[in-house]
C-alpha cells in the first residue's frame, strides 16, 4: 500500500496540489465529511496556554467557511484569527483532504472553565461542535516546562560534552488517568436468560503514546455466563477519536459473547492489563531522547469497569417443543434418499443456523417409525467468530437402518426458539417424508432349517434286524457333578443379569454415582484430544482442552457444575473434600498456565505444552487418589 501526503499553511498551495491531483486522476471520489473539536490538554496551569483546534476532514477547496472561535467561560481568547493548516493525502488513488483551525486561550482564574460550542459550515450543511470543560489548577501543581530562548543557539552535540543536570535532563511526564484507559461497552444490559450479550473492550491512549509488553494479569472471568470469544484484529490500525475534548487513538482489545445461564443480577469481571507506556518527552535534544528512551517507559496497570447484566426469566407458557434456544434461528431438514432396501441406511439431517448460543443447543425431538433402527446423532458445530455477534450452524445427522419392507413416513420435526427482538416464541415444523423400503428381510437360521427339512409324508423303512445293544453306565445321577452345575448355572445367569440391571438403575437414578464413574474415562478422553492438539501445535485449543479435562474431572468427582465456577469456589470445594493444599496449589498454577496459553499463546514455548500435559495427567491421578482416600 503506497501513500502520498503533504501539507500547506495556505489555501493557495492546497488548491495547486488538488489541481495536480485532478489532472492526474481525472476524478475525485466524494469523501465523508467529519468535523471534530479538541484541546491540547484537559488540565492546565494558571500560567499555561490552551490550544483549541477544529479539524474538518473529507472536504474540497472553497467548500468550507472559516469558523469563529467559541466563547470561553474563564478563558480569554488571545487572537480572534486562527492559525490555519490544510493537507491533502492520496492513498491508493483516493484523495483525502482536511483543514484545521486553531486558537489560543489563556486562563483567567483557577477552577473549572468552559469552551462553548461553535458552528462550522461545509457547503450547505452546518455542523455544531460540543462544549468542552477545562480544569485550571495552580501552576505549582503542574510540571515545570523549560522555555528555550529564541536567541540561544541550539547545539545538538552540546549534551555529549557536559554532565547531566536537572536543567539538561529531559523531563519525564508521568502517565495520568486520562492518558490511557480501557472502556467496556456491552450492547445491552437487560436481557432474558441465555440471550446473547456482546462486550467490546476498547483501549484509548493519547497521541504520541507507545505501548509494549502488554499482558493479561489474571483470568478474565464471567461467572454465571456461557462465554465465547470473538475474533478481533491482531494488528489493528488505531482510529482517531475525540473524547471529552481530547484526541485519542482507539483500538479494539477484546470482543466476547456471553450468555447468562441464571436469572438475576450478574456481573462480568473487569479486564486487567499490565503494560509499559512511553510518553513523548518535553526535550528537543535528539541525543537526550535517544539515551533516555529506555528510562522513559513507565509501567501502567489498566482496569476496565465491571459489567452488570440483569437477566430475566423467559415468559410463560413455553411450547412443549421449546428446549432453551434463545436467538434468531433458521431451521431445515434433509434426507439423503427416500428409497432403500431392507438392511440399508438413510441419513436424516436437522440443521439449525443463526445467532445465539449454538454450543449448548440440544437436538430437537425426533421419533422415527419402529421399522427403523435409530442411532445417536452425529453433531457438527461451525461457529462464526469474525462478526460483531456470535453466529454459526449446528447440525444433527441421524442414521436410520431399515429392518422391514413397506412404505413408512418420517414424522415432522419441530424446533422452537425464543426471539428476544420480537419477544415471542417462534416454532418451525418440517414436512413429513415418505420412505419406501423394498426387498426381503433375512430369514432366521432355524426357520430355514425347518422349511428345508424332509417332507411330511417321507417315512423311514422298518428295521429288518435287531441291532447290537450296549448296557449304559449304571452310575446314579445324584453322584455326578454336572447335574448340580446345570441347576446352579441358570441361577448364576439370573444373578448376573440382576446385578447389571441394578447397576444401570443406579447410574440412571444416582447422578453423583454416575458422574463419579465417568470421571476417569472422560478425563482420559479429553487428555487424548489435548495430546492430538499439542502435536498439531494448536496452542490455544490445546490449553482449552487441557482445562476442560481438569475441571470436568473435578466437577464429576465432586458432583458440582464446573461451568461458571470461579477459582476461589473451586478451591473451597476441594478444601471441603480434604484435598491437600499442595494439590490445590498445583491446580491453581496449572490453571494459570492454561489461561496464559489461551490468551497469550505467543509467550508459551513447545516445551511448556509437554510439561503442562504431564502435570495435568499427574494432577488428575493425584486428585483421584486423594478423593478416593477421603470418601
Q: Select from 607, 610, 598 the least CA-distant residue to 548.
A: 598
Most confident option among 74-78, 325-329, 491-495: 325-329
Determine the Cα–Cα distance for residues 374 and 602; give it in Å rounded to an integer.
46
Q: Is the pTM of this model over 0.85?
A: no
Percentage of the residues of the chain whose pLDDT score is greater than 90: 29
Pull the grid cell for residue 580. 491437600
pLDDT at 51 over 80: yes
In sequence order, the 6+-apart residues with CB closer than 8 A to the CB of 584 are 571, 574, 575
Do the domains at 180-312 and 327-438 have one common CATH topology?
Answer: yes
DSSP letters along 429-442, please?
Answer: EPPPEEEEEES-PP
Residue 168 clears pLDDT 50, i.e. is over it = no
Cis bond leading into 616, ω under 30°? Answer: no
Name which CATH class applies to 327-438: mainly beta
Residue 416 in this model has a pLDDT that exceeds 60: yes
What is the topology classification, in CATH, of domain 3-141? Immunoglobulin-like (2.60.40)
DSSP secondary structure letter of residue 272: E
Higher pLDDT, 407 or 87: 407
| β-bridge partners, 393 | 353, 382
> Which of residues 523 and 455 earns the better pLDDT score?
523
Cα 529–chain centre separation: 21
Residue 238: how many CB atoms within 10 A of its CB? 13
Q: What is the rounded average pLDDT for all residues in the chain?
A: 80
Residue 525's alpha-carbon distances to 550, 562, 609, 621, in angstroms, are 11, 17, 18, 14
Q: What is the pLDDT of residues 524-538, one digit of tens each?
A: 888 888 888 888 888
In this structure, what C-alpha cell is assigned to residue 83? Answer: 492559525
192 pLDDT higher than 90? yes
pLDDT of residue 284: 52
Q: Evaluate if residue 459 carries a pLDDT over 60.
A: no
Q: Are 21 and 31 in contact (CB under 8 A)?
A: no
> What are the distances in angstroms from CA 394 to CA 168, 352, 398?
66, 5, 13
Euclidean distance between CA atoms 415 and 333, whole angstroms: 11
The dihedrals phi and psi of 565, each to the nearest 5 degrees, come to -80, 120
Q: Kindly report the number of other CB atoms within 10 A of residue 619's CB atom.
A: 19
- Spatial distance between the Cα atoms of 372 and 338, rounded to a whole number of angstroms: 13
CA-CA distance, 36 to 128, in Å (whole number)? 9
pLDDT per residue as tens digits for the range 292-329: 454 567 888 899 999 999 999 999 999 999 989 999 99
Lowest-confidence region among 86-100, 156-170, 428-442, 454-468: 156-170
- pLDDT at residue number 548: 86
Domain boundaries along the sequence of the chain: 3-141, 180-312, 327-438, 511-630
Cβ–Cβ < 8 Å for 416, 322: yes
CA pair distance 501, 514, nearest whole angstrom: 14
Q: At what angle do helices 539-558 and 511-535 cross, to 10 degrees?
A: 170
The C-alpha cell at 591 is: 490453571
Residue with the bigger pLDDT between 14 and 171: it is 171
- CB-based burial, 511-546: b 16+ in 10 Å, e otherwise: eeeebbeebeebbeebbeebbebbeeebbebbbbbb
β-partners of residue 331 are 352
**DSSP secondary structure, 136-192, as one string:** EE-GGGSPP-PPPPSSSPP-TTGGGGS---TTTSPP-PPPPTTTEEEEEEES-SEEE
Give the H or E element holding residue 508: helix 482-509
3-state DSSP assignment of residue 12: helix
Instruction: Give the rounded percent of residues in the chain with a pLDDT score beyond 70.
Output: 78
Bigger pLDDT: 566 or 237? 237
pLDDT for residue 458 is more than 70: no
Give the pairing of strands 433-438 and 339-341. Answer: parallel
Q: Residue 281 has what pLDDT?
A: 60
Total number of residues shown for the chain: 631
Instruction: Please report where in the chains the cell 492489563 appears, as a residue.
Output: 273
* pLDDT (0 to 100) of residue 147: 43
Question: Is 431 within 8 Å of 323 (Cβ atoms)?
Answer: no
Report the pLDDT value the prediction gives residue 165, as an integer from 0 to 100: 47
Distances (CA, A) of 377 to 221, 255, 362, 433: 33, 33, 11, 18
Q: Is the pLDDT of residue 631 over 70?
A: no
User: Looking at residue 296, what DSSP letter applies?
Assistant: T
pLDDT of residue 7: 38
Q: What is the largest CA-CA distance in the chain?
A: 150
The 10s digit of each residue's pLDDT in 508-523 is: 666 667 677 777 888 8
Give the CA-trace dihedral at 318, 321, 323, 325, to 10 degrees: -80
Q: Is the pLDDT of residue 582 over 80?
A: yes
pLDDT of residue 462: 67
Looking at 3.30.2290, 2.60.120, 3.30.70, 2.60.40, the CATH number of the domain 180-312 comes to 2.60.40
**DSSP state letters, 118-143:** -EEEETTEEEEPPPEEEEEE-GGGSP
Amino acid at each position: 500500500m503506497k501513500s502520498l501526503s503533504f501539507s500547506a499553511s495556505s489555501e493557495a498551495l492546497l488548491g495547486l496540489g488538488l489541481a495536480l491531483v485532478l489532472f492526474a486522476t481525472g476524478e475525485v471520489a466524494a469523501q465523508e465529511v467529519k468535523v471534530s473539536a479538541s484541546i491540547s490538554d484537559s488540565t492546565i496551569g494558571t500560567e499555561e496556554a490552551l490550544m483549541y483546534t477544529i479539524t474538518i476532514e473529507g472536504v474540497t477547496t472553497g467548500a468550507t467557511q472559516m469558523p469563529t472561535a467559541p466563547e470561553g467561560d474563564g478563558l480569554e481568547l488571545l487572537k480572534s484569527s486562527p492559525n490555519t493548516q490544510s493537507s491533502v493525502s492520496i492513498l491508493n488513488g483516493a484523495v483525502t483532504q482536511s483543514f484545521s483551525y486553531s486558537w489560543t486561550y489563556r486562563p483567567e482564574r483557577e477552577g473549572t472553565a468552559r469552551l462553548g460550542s461553535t458552528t462550522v459550515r461545509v457547503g450547505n450543511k452546518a455542523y455544531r461542535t460540543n462544549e468542552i470543560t477545562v480544569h485550571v489548577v495552580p501552576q505549582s501543581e503542574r510540571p515545570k516546562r523549560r522555555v528555550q530562548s529564541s536567541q540561544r543557539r541550539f547545539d545538538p552535540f552540546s549534551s555529549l560534552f557536559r554532565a547531566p543536570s536537572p536543567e539538561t535532563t529531559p523531563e519525564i511526564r508521568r502517565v495520568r488517568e486520562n492518558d490511557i484507559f480501557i472502556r467496556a461497552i456491552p450492547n445491552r444490559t437487560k436481557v432474558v436468560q441465555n440471550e446473547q450479550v456482546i462486550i467490546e473492550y476498547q483501549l484509548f491512549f493519547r497521541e504520541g503514546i507507545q505501548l509494549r509488553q502488554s499482558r493479561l494479569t489474571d483470568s478474565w472471568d464471567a461467572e454465571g455466563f456461557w462465554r465465547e470469544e470473538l475474533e478481533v484484529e491482531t494488528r489493528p490500525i488505531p482510529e482517531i477519536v475525540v473524547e471529552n475534548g481530547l484526541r485519542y487513538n482507539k483500538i479494539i482489545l477484546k470482543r466476547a459473547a456471553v450468555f447468562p445461564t441464571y436469572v438475576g443480577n450478574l456481573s462480568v469481571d473487569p479486564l486487567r492489563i499490565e503494560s509499559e507506556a512511553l510518553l513523548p518527552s518535553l526535550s528537543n535534544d535528539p541525543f537526550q531522547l535517544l539515551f533516555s528512551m529506555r528510562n522513559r517507559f513507565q509501567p501502567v496497570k489498566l482496569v476496565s469497569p465491571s459489567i452488570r447484566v440483569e437477566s430475566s426469566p423467559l415468559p410463560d407458557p413455553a411450547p412443549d417443543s421449546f428446549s432453551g434456544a434463545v436467538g434468531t434461528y433458521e431451521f431445515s431438514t434433509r434426507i439423503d434418499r427416500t428409497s432403500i432396501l431392507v438392511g440399508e441406511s438413510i441419513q436424516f439431517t436437522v440443521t439449525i443456523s443463526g445467532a445465539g448460543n449454538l454450543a449448548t443447543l440440544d437436538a430437537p425431538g425426533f421419533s422415527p417409525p419402529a421399522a427403523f433402527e435409530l442411532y445417536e446423532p452425529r453433531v457438527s458445530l461451525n461457529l462464526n467468530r469474525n462478526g460483531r455477534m456470535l453466529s454459526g450452524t449446528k447440525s444433527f445427522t441421524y442414521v436410520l437402518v431399515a429392518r422391514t419392507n413397506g412404505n413408512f413416513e418420517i414424522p415432522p420435526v419441530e424446533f422452537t426458539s425464543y426471539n428476544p427482538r420480537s419477544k415471542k416464541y417462534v416454532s418451525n415444523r418440517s414436512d413429513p417424508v415418505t420412505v419406501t423400503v423394498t426387498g426381503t428381510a433375512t430369514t432366521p437360521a432355524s426357520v430355514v432349517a425347518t422349511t428345508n427339512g424332509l417332507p411330511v409324508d417321507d417315512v423311514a423303512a422298518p428295521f429288518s434286524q435287531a441291532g447290537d445293544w450296549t448296557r449304559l453306565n449304571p452310575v446314579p445321577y445324584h453322584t455326578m457333578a454336572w447335574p448340580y452345575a446345570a441347576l446352579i448355572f441358570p441361577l448364576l445367569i439370573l444373578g448376573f443379569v440382576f446385578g447389571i440391571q441394578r447397576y444401570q438403575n443406579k447410574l440412571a437414578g444416582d447422578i453423583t454415582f454416575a458422574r463419579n464413574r465417568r470421571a476417569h474415562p472422560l478425563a482420559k478422553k479429553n487428555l487424548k484430544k489435548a495430546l492430538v492438539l499439542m502435536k498439531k501445535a494448536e496452542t490455544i485449543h490445546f490449553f482449552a482442552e487441557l482445562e476442560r479435562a481438569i475441571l470436568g474431572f473435578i466437577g464429576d468427582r465432586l458432583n458440582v457444575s464446573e461451568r461458571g465456577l470461579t477459582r476461589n469456589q473451586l478451591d473451597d470445594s476441594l478444601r471441603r473434600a480434604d484435598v491437600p493444599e499442595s494439590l490445590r496449589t498445583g491446580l491453581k498454577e496449572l490453571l494459570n498456565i492454561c489461561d496464559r496459553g489461551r490468551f497469550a499463546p505467543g509467550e508459551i514455548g513447545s516445551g511448556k505444552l509437554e510439561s503442562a500435559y504431564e502435570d495435568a495427567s499427574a494432577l488428575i491421578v493425584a486428585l483421584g487418589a486423594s478423593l478416593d482416600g477421603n470418601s
